[in-house]
Amino acid sequence: MKIELRPQDGARVKKTRVYVWPDETILDNLVNRRDRPIRQWRKDVLPKVFSELGLAEGTRARWSQYAGCSCGCSPAFILDINLMNRDIHVSLGGKE
């Protein structure tokens, strides 16, 4: 698992998003886009991200299919904080 902080897109300040990028093809992404293992990611991925970035244990995250844009192509967890106008990108598996 690779964790990166990247600047947020756009000029508007918003809460930090945690985008999880599974190891999949573009076709798999289109098929699975609205059927993600959110509960598993909340249990396995988020604690590692919070720990590595030194975030408080009580940091809350809610899933939104429309976190990145209004068409639903960029789902993510939305944190209840803003990390210096940065989003978190988590790559799972071998592809970066």
pTM recorded for the entire structure:
0.88
Dist CA 30 CA 43 (whole Å): 24
Dist CA 18 CA 76 (whole Å): 5
Dist CA 56 CA 46 (whole Å): 12
Residues in the chain, overall count = 96
Output the pLDDT for position 94: 58
Are 19 and 60 in contact by the 8 Å Cβ rule? The answer is: no
59-83 pLDDT tens trace:
999 999 999 888 888 899 999 999 9
User: pLDDT higher for 11 or 64?
Assistant: 64
17-62 pLDDT tens trace:
999 999 988 898 888 888 899 999 999 999 999 999 999 878 999 9
